A and B are shown apart, each in its own frame.
Chain A
Amino acid sequence: KAGVTQTPRYLIKTRGQQVTLSCSPISGHRSVSWYQQTPGQGLQFLFEYFSETQRNKGNFPGRFSGRQFSNSRSEMNVSTLELGDSALYLCASSLVGTVGGDTQYFGPGTRLTVL
């Protein structure tokens, strides 16, 4: 079974631009969660999507948004990029979601650098 895939793996943008990251979950998984990982703040939860609906959201500004398609693939978008948005963005998929601690499988991440 193929694992979670994320594209692109690396991205360089400049301040003020916007970016879209993509995540393809494991086949059959309906939940996709997004995390931001930085050296200073560690892994922080962005949001979770289940069956095309956002089910949970972390404490990030509205510049961070996401969506999920009917095939469970998910995208996240960051608008008006700031230097502090430079991070590793991780996507994780699970069968039914993180409620109750369902096992999450992480992708390799997208490394975003904002100049």
Chain B
Amino acid sequence: TQLLEQSPQFLSIQEGENLTVYCNSSSVFSSLQWYRQEPGEGPVLLVTVVTGGEVKKLKRLTFQFGDARKDSSLHITAAQPGDTGLYLCAGVLNNYGQNFVFGPGTRLSVLP
């Protein structure tokens, strides 16, 4: 059983389209991070959200942390082929042996 679920698992869209990927859990996280991983590379941190209800914008990417700190979303506006990759969310749980728990990821493909 995954502590963090991500949806959709796979997403293939055309350049210029908008998309949203989701990260959900029944557990409360003290903070949540989003990473992007490209083939042959390690994940690269995009953002950290720590406050329930927080919204952060990074150019065309908008990240939202749920009020209850159990879920998060990543919205990409006008997707570009360079956005292609595996998007991973990772949560920090209080009182849990592992510091970071990763979701299974959403594999995004943006076609030109």
Contacts and interface: CB of A to CB of B under 8 A. Distances in A.
Interface of A: 4, 33, 35, 42-45, 48, 56-59, 90, 92, 97-101, 103-109
Interface residues of B, number: 25
Contact of B102 (A44, A101, A105): A44
22 contacts: A42-B104, A43-B102, A43-B105, A45-B98, A45-B102, A56-B97, A57-B97, A58-B97, A58-B98, A92-B42, A97-B99, A98-B99, A100-B30, A101-B30, A101-B31, A101-B50, A103-B45, A106-B35, A106-B43, A106-B44, A108-B40, A108-B42
Q: Chain A CB within 10 Å — which of B43, B44, B88 has the most?
A: B43
B33 interface: yes
Contact of B92 (A57, A58, A92, A101): A101
Contacts, number: 62
B48 A101 contact: yes
Nearest to B101: A45
A89 to B, nearest CB: 10
